[in-house]
Amino acid sequence: MDIDVRNLLEAIPGPAGSVVETPHPVGSTVALRSIRGFADRSPAVSFAVAGTVLQDDGDVMVVTTRPGSGRASRAGRRTGPRGRNVVVTGWDGSYDIAGWEGRTVVRVHPRGRCWSVWRWHDGEDWTGDWYGNLEAPWRRSAVGYDTQDWALDVVARGTPGTHSWTVGFKDEDELDWYVEQGAFSPERAAYFRSVGAELAGILRRGEGPVVADWARWVPPAAVKPVPLPKGWQSLAE
């Protein structure tokens, strides 16, 4: 695929803002933000979650989120498959503020790739769940990292390399809904599905993140729940 076309398909909506080139220090509090475009208003943060940086260098960006850490999602009438999605027109710019629920999650994003892989840690070991979040390549910002969630996800469970290892897709209907709503073009959705197929193949073959040394990303006991950093809503010009 032509590089200009690919860059267009992977673009994060809105202004680049105060893009940060310097890696965020290990241990710093950041906001991981999904930026969405809207037909009736300027691009804005669609979802944000607070976390703590475990690694940020030329290879990967790794963020962990403890339960109770700050989380924000667009407020408003929810519809779409399973009633989870806020309509893409008529949003008033407000957010539902809550805390991250469940177990501690670690998100690993190989720099420049269109996905991050999530795993959960119960305080003693990793669980058997793997989650491939399809999204635009992360971009450092003044408050953390910006991306755009693409709705479609790749999920895996079990022990890699054994008959228990299963890989599949999640939220295909939500991606279709976003296309119906005009949030994503059919061309972009087709590209997202091709990225999903690529990641599913990587997981099925037991490559990339599957064989990474996850021991280096075990969340330290000293890492506690953190709030969203000040300015998490701002998309600076």
Q: What pLDDT, in 10s, does the model give residues 26-44?
A: 999 999 999 999 889 999 9
pLDDT at position 237: 59
Give CA angle at 206 (120, 113), nearest 5°.
70
The model's pTM is 0.95
The values of phi and psi at residue 33, to 5°, are -120, 135
Decide the pairing of beta strands 144-147 and 29-36.
parallel
Cβ partners under 8 Å of residue 5, min gap 6: none
Please, what are the domains in the chain? 3-22+29-211 (2.40.380.10)
> In the beta sheet, which residues pair with residue 153?
133, 170
pLDDT at position 142: 93
pLDDT at position 17: 66
Angle between helices 186-205 and 3-10 (to 10 degrees): 90
pLDDT at position 5: 82
With the C-alpha atoms ordered 17, 25, 139, 90, is the resulting torsion angle positive or negative? negative
What are the residue ranges in the chain where pLDDT is below 50? none
Cα gap 46→43, rounded to integer Å:
9
pLDDT at position 138: 97
